[in-house]
Amino acid sequence: MTIKQFIFVLIAFLIPLCQLFADPPIFKEIDDNNVAAIELFLQTNDIDLKYGKDSLTLLTYAISKYNRKMVKFLLEAGAGPNVADSQQDTPLMYAAKTGHMKIIKLLMRKGAWLNYKNEKWLTAYDFAVRAHHPEASRYLKSRYERNLPPFRDGPYVSWKNDDRINAFYMVHDSAHNHSNKIKKQFKIEELPFLMPGFAYDTISYSLNKTHTAGPSRYTGVSNLLIIGDIHGGYDSLILFLINNGVVDDQLKWTFGMGHVVLLGDIFDRGDKVTESLWFIYQLEQQALESGGVVHFILGNHEVMILLNDHRFITDKYYYLCKKLQLSYGQLFAKKTVLGNWLRSKNSIIIIDDKLFVHAGISSEIIDLDLTLEEMNDRVRYFLNYPERNRKYGLENREIIMGMKGPFWYRGFIETEAYYPRFTENDLNAILDHYSVSSVYIGHSNVDSVSALYNNRVFMLDVPFYNYGFSMQALLIEEEVKYLLSTSGFRKPF
C-alpha cells in the first residue's frame, strides 16, 4: 500500500469515528428551538436514544443547555424523565447540576425519580449540593423528606434492669409516609442470651450485658487479615469474607485460629451500619470459640457517634431519627448492648511486631510517653466521661482525641498546617517507642492497598463504600503478604 492509499484509508476510518464522538446535528436544532425539525427527527428516531461522546439524550442535552421550552416539549412528546446516561445520571441529576428550578419542578411533575442513585451512589440532591445551588438543594431535600423510600433498621437493644432488655426496630412506611418503632421486651434467663429477631428480621443475636476490653498486645499470630474502613458497606464486606474463606455462606467463622483486624470506621457514609456492627459483634464470639480473634479498632467515626456528632450519617439514619424524635448517638448510649461493646474497644494494638491504629501516630502522641494500655484506657475514659477533664487534663484530652491523635492524624501522607512534614526520623521514633517494625492504618483514602516509607507504613482505606473501587485487604500468612480482592483472588504484595 502506498502512503497516499494509506492516508485515504485512515481518513475513511477517522471520519465516522469523529462523527461518533461529535455532537450530532440534531443538538443544534435544540439550541435553535427548532421544534419542527425535532418533530421531523422523532418520526424516524427513538426519542430516548443516546447520542455523542457523553451519551446524552435529547432531553438531557436540552437540560444541560437550560432550555426549559425544549425540555417541556420533549417531555410532552414522550421523552423518559428517568432515562439515565452511561454514568447512570438521570435527567433530574442534570437539572440539579444546573440549578434551574423551573426545569427541576417540571421533571418532578412528570414523575422524575427523586431517590434514584447513580453508579457513584449520588442522588439529584447530592448533585445540587455539590454544584452549590442552595435553592435547588433545599427544594430537593424537602421533597425527599416528604417522599422517603421504605426504611427498616435495627435491632437497638438496651438493658432495662438486671434481667430484662428492651429491643426495637425503626421502620418507615413509604406508602403512608409514616415512621414508627416496633418494640419488644425480653426476660433474660442466662447469658449470653440468644435474642430472636422480629419485625421481619430472621437473625438471632447472642447478647452479653458487659464487654471486657481485649489485650493491647498479641504474639504468635501466623495468619492475619487486615481490613480498612467499612463505612456501612455490609454487603461488600460479607461477599469479601465469604470469597476469601473467612466465613461460610451462613456467615459462620471459618478462619480457624486466624486474626482479623478491622481498622475502624464502621459508621457513617453507608446505610448498613447496624447490620455491619451486629455482624462483627457476632463474629467476635464465633472467632473466640475457634481460637481466633476479631480486633475492631475504634476509628474517628465511632468516636464521633459516641460523642453525639452526627455530621456524616446517611439519609436513612437521619430521617428515621428525625421522624421518631431520636438522637442517633443515643442509640449507642452506655446502657445499650452495642454502645457498651463499642466503649470497650481498643484504639491501638500490637500483634507481634506490627502496630495497628485507625489514622496514625504523631510525634505529639509519642511525647505523652504512654503505654498501649494507658492510651487505650484514656480513650475509654474520654468516651465514657466526655465532660470530665480533671483526671487527665484538657490538654491531654485534646492531643489524644484531636487532630494529632490516633483517630484523626494524617501526617504520614499529608502536609498541612496541622501536620508538619513527616520524616523517616519521626517514623523511626514511633517504631522504636513501640518496639515494632511496621504500622497499619486506615482513615486516608488510597486507590489500592499501599506501602510507604520502605514498606514500614501500610495504608488500607480503599474507599469501596463509594462504589468507585473494589474492596481490598491485606493477608499476612507466615510473614508473607498477599493482596486480597473481593473475588477471592490473591497475589503477592
Q: Which alpha helices (DSSP H) does 116-265 contain, by range?
A: 124-130, 134-146, 234-243
Full domain range(s) for residue 268: 217-492
CB 314 within 8 A of CB 466: no
Closest CA to 97 of 80, 118, 72: 118
378-437 tens-digit pLDDT: 999 999 998 887 788 888 899 999 999 999 999 998 876 667 778 899 999 999 999 999
Q: Are residues 360 and 268 in the same domain?
A: yes
Q: Is the CB of residue 165 less than 8 Å from the CB of residue 178? A: no
Instruction: Examine the domain organization and report whether 370 and 434 are in the same domain.
Output: yes
Residue 342 lies in a domain: yes
| Angle in degrees, 0-180, between the axes of helices 35-42 and 68-76, rounded to the nearest 10 | 30
Whether 212 is in a domain gets the answer: no
- Res 17: pLDDT: 40
Whether residues 138 and 172 fall in one domain: no
CA distance 73 to 90: 18
479 and 405 belong to one structural domain: yes
Q: Do 168 and 274 fall into the same domain? A: no
- Could you give the C-alpha distances from 476 to 137, 239, 259, in angstroms and in order? 46, 20, 10
Boundary (domain end) residue, out of 125, 146, 167? 146
Residue type for position 64: S
Give domain status of residue 357, yes or no.
yes
Question: In whole angstroms, what is the distance from residue 207 CA to residue 285 CA?
Answer: 10
- Within 10 angstroms of residue 218's Cβ, the number of other Cβ atoms is 16
For residue 239, which of 472, 474, 476, 481 has the smallest C-alpha distance? Answer: 472
Ordered per-residue pLDDT tens for the chain, 493 residues: 666 554 444 444 433 444 444 456 788 888 888 888 888 888 888 888 887 657 888 899 999 999 999 999 999 988 999 998 888 899 999 999 999 999 999 999 999 998 888 888 789 999 999 999 999 999 999 998 888 889 999 999 999 998 999 999 999 998 888 999 999 999 999 999 999 999 999 999 999 999 999 999 999 999 999 999 999 999 999 999 999 999 999 999 999 999 999 999 999 988 999 999 999 999 999 999 999 999 999 999 999 999 999 989 988 999 999 999 999 999 999 999 999 999 999 999 999 999 999 999 999 999 999 999 999 999 999 999 988 877 888 888 999 999 999 999 999 988 766 677 788 999 999 999 999 999 999 999 999 999 999 999 999 999 887 666 789 999 999 999 999 999 999 999 9
- In this structure, the answer to whether residues 335 and 366 fall within a common structural domain is yes
Enumerate residues 6+ apart whose C-beta is below 8 A from 366: 429, 430, 433
Same domain, 76 and 225: no
Q: Residue 29: which H helix or E strand, with range?
A: helix 25-31
Are 152 and 171 within 8 A, CB to CB? yes
Q: 242 and 155 in one domain?
A: no
Cell of 24: 450530532
Residues 124 and 155 in one domain: no
Residue whose C-alpha is closest to residue 484's, from 460, 457, 452, 465: 460
- Establish if 95 belongs to a structural domain: yes
Tell whether 125 is covered by a domain: yes
Residues 6+ apart with CB under 8 A from 368: 375, 396, 399, 400
> Is residue 365 included in any domain, yes or no?
yes
191 and 300 fall within a common domain: no
Last residue of a domain, one of 169, 186, 207: 207
**411 and 320 housed in the same domain:** yes
pLDDT given at position 20: 42
Pure H helices in 199-333:
234-243, 273-289, 300-306, 315-323
Q: Supply the pLDDT for residue 278.
A: 99
Closest CA to 70 of 41, 36, 33, 16: 33
Alpha carbon 468 to its chain centroid, in Å, reads 11
For 114, the grid coordinates are 427523586
Residue 124 covered by a domain: yes
Q: Which of 388, 153, 399 is nearest to 276 (CA)?
A: 153
Same domain, 341 and 474: yes
pLDDT recorded at residue 16: 43
Q: How far apart are CA 334 and CA 434, in angstroms?
A: 31
Give the predicted TM-score (pTM) of the model. Answer: 0.82
- Given 123, 146, 169, the domain boundary residue is 146
Q: How many domains does the chain have?
A: 3
